[in-house]
Amino acid sequence: MRSAISERACRGRSMLHWIQYVRGYVTVKVWGYSVERLLNLCGNHDVLVWDIEDHGDYHTMHVSIAGFFALKPLLKKTGTRVAVMGKYGLPFFASKMWRRKLFVTGLVCCILFWCLASRFIWDIQIEGNFALTEDVLMDYLEEKGVHTAMKKSALDIGKLEQELREDYDLITWTSMQLRGTTLLIHIKENDMPVYDNRDKAEPDKGMDLVAEKDGVVTYIITRSGVPQVACGDSVQEGDVLVSGAIPVYNEDTTVRRYQYVVADADITLRYGRNLTLEEEVAYEEKCYTGEEIEIPVAGAGEKEVALRFRKVPYAFYDTSEEKKQVQLLDHLYLPLYYGKRTVREYEIVPKMHTEEEMKTLLQEQWRKIITTLNEKGVQIAEKNVTIKKNDKKWVLYARMQLEESAVKLVPTTVAESAEDSDQEDAQTD
Amino acid sequence: MESLKLPKDTMLGAAIVTITGNREAFIENYKGILEYTTESIVLQGKNARICFEGSGLSIDYYTNEDMKISGKIDALRYI
């Protein structure tokens, strides 16, 4: 019972403390002729004072702000003096804060910033990827509109998980979670080899093999379809070499209908090609003088500012630029750049190639052409190279016979006519 | 007066003193304070003076209606 009362009293006290804090109070030191009389007057004038302590020659007490102002005439009456020792409570705190406007503004802005920033995704982490690189997945996510600094609410995790599984056959399991402002993506890749059968699916209509270039057929072996040309035939670009429509004949050798297949054959076409390579004997060489200027560069978005206001004092110069993007977190870049631009002066010096140099230069060019041809699967059957030299330039003439499987698949064109003929047959019947 | 069942303090103007242990005293219905030191607090009632004696006495709060004294109370005397 007693404890209940004291508990209530305690709560009452703490409540009172709050009210006192909110309304503000001061600690005052009172001394003089009769402090007791002052206390009586306080009581009579409804001035609340509390925590009155006797320190021998003076008393201390707490009094509310309103009470403190009401105290003045009473002090005069009783011949006591008062001095403020401390100010407490919200009104004083607020006025103190009011004087520190910038600080308070900063504090509020900071809290607002964090509240706002926590509504966005600031980092994306991908785990469990081996064959698919992080860049590929990041690009994919970017395409889907998932990127750093996006709103959390704009993210549909379930849908994204499903799309990721559907778009990559390699990914067999996905799990995404938002932890704070980080999007964690766990994926599992398929360890088993993936067989892609889509390309092998038979089309409804047949496919013809047609020539991609003019030339002579030097080799033909047909695996499916009806060959339209023989070895040694000249063909033009676009000519059908192997037809995908296999005719089925009636007894009277008229075509009853066509069976459609995808034409497949090994075909080599031979064609001639002439080539001219030129190389001038005289040339201009860039000689760097060793003079250079480094200019700091700052940029935001598309715009860029060089922090140099004088003109570059060189007649000829190269510029190279090194830029870095401002990075906040692992995947969070701001559209701000900084770096330096190096301007290097050069002089143009006219020079002449020696015979040796000319030879190597031309050979180098020639070798490059041959390599590219080989890379494309083109074989050189014959070649006839001549070099003409004069004082000004060397010219390389090459006449080559190239062999290449220059064919491509196109949908069968006979198809429609075949159908037509079928219909005509039906009509005549 | 008994039969009216009116509270005695209002009718007689008597002070009510509630003492919890020897550490706290709660006083209502007094006229004023006459003396206040850490050793003694003397209050003026309607008919008598109430004197608290002890050590480390202090007034927790003081209003027109009531007040609270805390500290070690040794004696309470009516003068």
pLDDT tens for chain A, 429 residues: list them: 444 445 555 556 678 888 888 889 999 999 988 888 888 888 888 888 888 888 888 999 999 998 899 888 888 888 889 999 999 988 888 888 888 888 889 999 999 998 888 888 888 888 988 888 888 888 998 898 888 788 888 888 888 889 988 888 888 899 998 888 888 999 988 877 655 444 444 556 788 888 888 899 998 999 888 898 988 889 988 888 888 888 888 888 888 888 888 888 889 999 988 888 888 888 888 888 888 888 888 888 778 888 877 888 888 888 888 888 887 766 667 778 888 888 899 988 888 888 888 888 888 988 998 899 888 888 888 888 888 888 788 888 889 888 888 888 888 875 444 444 444 444 444
Q: Which residues of B touch A (CB under 8 A)?
A: 20, 32-38, 57-64, 67
Q: Model pTM?
A: 0.41
Read off the pLDDT of residues B21-51 as tens digits, 9 standing for 90 and up. 999 999 988 888 888 888 999 998 888 899 9
Q: DSSP states of A180-220 as a string? A: TTEEEEEEEE--SPPP--TTTSPPSS-EEEEESSSEEEEEE
Q: What is the mean pLDDT of chain B?
A: 86
Superfamily of domain A103-201: membrane protein fhac (3.10.20.310)
Q: Give yes or no for A95 touching B (CB within 8 A).
A: no
CATH of domain B8-78: 2.60.40.2000
Q: Which residue of A has its CA nearest to B37?
A: A54
> How many CB atoms are located within 10 Å of the residue B39 CB?
15
Q: Which residue of A has its CA nearest to B38?
A: A54
Tell me the ipTM for this assembly: 0.81
Q: Please report, for chain B, the start and end positions of each structural domain, with discontinuous segments joined by +.
A: 8-78
Give the mutation candidate from A20, A30, A54 for the B interface (greatest B CB count, under 10 A).
A54
Nearest to A36 among B35, B61, B63 (CB): B35
Q: DSSP states of A7-63 as a string? A: HHHHHHHHHHHHHHHHH-EEEEEEEES-HHHHHHHHHHTT--EEEEEE-SS-EEEEE
Contact between A46 and B64 using a beta-carbon 8 Å cutoff: yes
Residues in chain A within 8 Å Cβ distance of B30: none
CB pairs under 8 A between A and B: 50
Region of A103 on the Ramachandran plot (φ > 0 left; ψ -120 to 50 alpha; else beta): alpha
Nearest to A49 among B35, B37, B61 (CB): B61
Contact A59, A50 (CB under 8 A): no
Read off the pLDDT of residues A9-61 as tens digits, 9 standing for 90 and up. 555 667 888 888 888 999 999 998 888 888 888 888 888 888 888 888 899 99
Helix (H) or strand (E) holding B52: strand B49-62
Q: Which residue of A has its CA nearest to B63?
A: A43
Give the 3-state secondary structure of residue A250: coil
Contact between A44 and B36 using a beta-carbon 8 Å cutoff: no
Give the mutation candidate from A50, A57, A62, A78 for the B interface (greatest B CB count, under 10 A).
A50
CATH 3.30.1330.40 fits A2-94, yes or no: no
Mean pLDDT of B4-11: 69
What pLDDT, on a 0 to 100 scale, did the predictor assign at position B69? 92
Distance from C-alpha of A343 to C-alpha of A321, rounded to nearest angstrom: 9
Q: Where would I find the H helices in A248-328?
A: none
Strands A120-121 and A80-88: unpaired
Residues near B45 by Cβ (< 8 Å), separated by ≥ 6? B13, B14, B15, B29, B30, B31
Nearest to A40 among B32, B38, B61 (CB): B32
Residues in chain A within 8 Å Cβ distance of B63: 43, 46, 48
Contact between B58 and A39 using a beta-carbon 8 Å cutoff: no
Q: Give yes or no for A28 touching B (CB within 8 A).
A: no
Half-sphere exposure of A149 (CA within 13 A, CB side): 9
Read off the pLDDT of residues A228-284 as tens digits, 9 standing for 90 and up. 898 888 998 888 888 888 888 888 888 888 888 888 888 999 998 888 888 888 888
Contact between B38 and A39 using a beta-carbon 8 Å cutoff: no
Residues near A192 by Cβ (< 8 Å), separated by ≥ 6? none
